[in-house]
Amino acid sequence: MNLIKILEQAKKASKQTAKLSTDEKNKILLEIADMLENSSAEIVKENKKDCDKAKKNKMGSLVDRLLLNKERIENMANEVRNIASLHDYIGEKQEPQKTPSGISPQRITVPLGVIAMIYESRPNVTIDAASLAFKSGNAIVLKGGKEAKYSNKILSDIFSSVLEKYNLGNAVQLLENATREDTAELMKAKGKIDLLIPRGGRGLIQFVTENAQVPVIETGASVVHTFIDEFADIKKAAKIIVNQKQRNSVCNALDTLLLHENLQNRHIETLLTALTKNNTKIHVDENKADYSKEWLSNDINVKWVHDIDEAIAHIDEFSLGHSECIITENEENAQKFLQEIDSACVYHNVSTWFSDGAQFGLGAEMGISTQKLHARGPFALEALTTYKWIVSGNGETR
């Protein structure tokens, strides 16, 4: 694999995508969405190879993240259509500001250029990332996990086949059979990559952030908490925590449930029964190591706390800054929690399963950023742009 050549092709393609009009980009995206639906049988066939391998290796929890069926492919196509319908930030200009010197600086939104993404498991990320990068006028280089090898290949081929009709084939490139050396080279490609996005488990994100020499936005890894206050509506709480465990392979699923000690005599069985109906395995006040775990399974930690301050302290210690929730009817406690919890998404009486770009009205997402610079929380089109200054005058000198 000649990675330098691939990145050079991406750079040239980014110059082309940056010049496309909104109508041109949307037309291509709608064509891609139709192509995905029309290729449903072929996608399912290739995806089965990945799922069968996961089953053979007894990786049951991975299958849900890998699986593409007709319904999921239709949802994927509709996400592309949704991205086509979103506001295009490229080319937006602020009003020029006349300065005492006579110059008129004006800020204009532009694409980042070349984006690289290293991701695991979920093949729909291939389409989401490619669509968002293209709509925002960027080129993207994708490095998916080997567990989704066949799924990622056919999805990227479908996307590129449409782009090639418009001489834009290199705007989306998949790194096939990339070695560790290729990945290391990708992370050190200063001057050739404008942004690197790792999306997956804690190990992947930590590896990238510790070794990359290009700008990075961290995404994905989480330890999600929900605190049920003594003033909670128990039926409401039960409904929310069951929703948070309905799909365990996602980063916004509930990992640790914190319960106010005064709930012990207040229909606490309602909560635990609701969870066990979903076959959730409950770990009550076990060793500290469990509290650092992103389960991605039916497991959940349950811990009793004395008050809201202990709940906040626990979250401060073990949170990775992703999504946290308080369930309470006490407005003072709700506001205290919302103000003091320093995570990207903080909820009051709402399921953390809403931590998702589409649910936030952003269309599909590149991921959920747990850092604070450039992007935080679900991020999509706007976070894939930057700006430059255009300065006009009439012969002014300084």
Q: Across the chain, how many H-helices and E-strands are there? A: 13, 14
- Joined together, the tokens standing for residue 65 give 């993240």
Please say if the pLDDT value at position 374 is more than 90. no
pLDDT tens-digit readout, 253-305: 888 999 999 987 666 777 777 777 777 888 887 655 588 887 878 888 889 99
Q: With bands split at pLDDT 50, 70 and 90, how would you rate the model's confidence at 395? A: confident
Percent above pLDDT 70 for the chain: 97
Q: Say whether domain 225-354 belongs to CATH 3.40.309.10.
A: yes
Query: Would you place residue 247 in the very low, low, confident or very high pLDDT band (cuts 50, 70, 90)?
Result: confident
Higher pLDDT, 393 or 256: 256
Average pLDDT over residues 222-229: 92
In 13-29, which positions are buried (b, 16+ CB within 10 angstroms) versus exposed (e)? bbebbbebebeebbebb
**DSSP, res 292:** G
Q: What is the pLDDT at residue 286?
A: 64
- Integer Cα distance of 346 and 322 in angstroms: 8
Instruction: State the pLDDT at residue 306.
Output: 94
Question: Which of 19-23, 89-93, 176-180 bottoms out in mean pLDDT, i.e. has the lowest?
Answer: 176-180
Listed range (85-94, 269-278, 360-369) with the worst mean pLDDT: 269-278
Give 314's Cβ-side CA count (13 Å radius): 30
The model's confidence at residue 57, banded by pLDDT at 50, 70 and 90, is confident
Give the per-residue pLDDT at 258: 94
Q: Is 344:377 a contact under the CB 8 Å cutoff?
A: yes
Domain map (residue ranges) of the chain: 3-219+366-392, 225-354
CATH of region 3-219+366-392: 3.40.605.10
d(CA 298, CA 263): 23
pLDDT greater than 80 at residue 164: yes
DSSP H/E element including 356: none
- What pLDDT is recorded for position 241? 87
Residue 200: predicted pLDDT: 81
Residue 163 is predicted with a pLDDT of 98
Of the pLDDT bands very low, low, confident and very high (cuts 50, 70, 90), residue 214 is: very high
| 19-55 pLDDT per residue, tens | 999 999 999 999 999 999 999 999 999 999 999 999 8
